Amino acid sequence: MPFVTIGGITLHHRYIEASGKAPPVVFINSLGTDLRIWDDVVALLTGEMPLLVYDKRGHGLSDTGSGVRSINDHVDDLCALIDHFGFDKVVLFGLSVGGMVAQGFHICHPERVEGLILSDTAHKIGTAESWNSRIAVVERYGIEAIADGVMKVWFTPHFHAARPADLAGCRNMLIRQALPGYIGTCIAVRDADFTESARRITVPTLCVVGDQDGSTPPDLVRSLADLIPGARFEIIRDAGHIPCVEQPEALTALIRGFVASLAPGAENHG
| Total Cβ atoms within 10 A of residue 121 | 31
Confidence of residue 241 (pLDDT cuts 50, 70, 90): very high
Sorted by where each begins, the domain ranges of the chain are: 3-261
Q: Summarize the confidence of residues 245-256 as an average pLDDT.
A: 98
pLDDT tens-digit series, residues 13-33: 999 999 889 999 999 999 999
Largest CA distance in the chain: 55
Q: Shortest CA distance to 27 belongs to which of 248, 260, 269? A: 248
Residue by residue, DSSP assigns 207-219 as: EEEETT-SSS-HH
| 206, containing H or E segment | strand 205-210
**What average pLDDT does the chain have?**
95
- Per-residue pLDDT at 66: 84
* Amino acid found at 222: R
CATH architecture of the domain with range 3-261: 3-Layer(aba) Sandwich (3.40)
Instruction: Say what the pLDDT of residue 7 is.
Output: 83
DSSP 66: T
What are the helix and strand counts (H, E) for the chain? 12, 8
pTM above 0.85, yes or no: yes
- The Cα-based distances of 167 to 15, 90, 177 in angstroms read 26, 32, 16
Identify residue 242 by its one-letter amino acid code.
Answer: I
Among 264, 261, 262, 242, which Cα is nearest to 251's? 242
Pairing of strands 9-16, 51-54: antiparallel
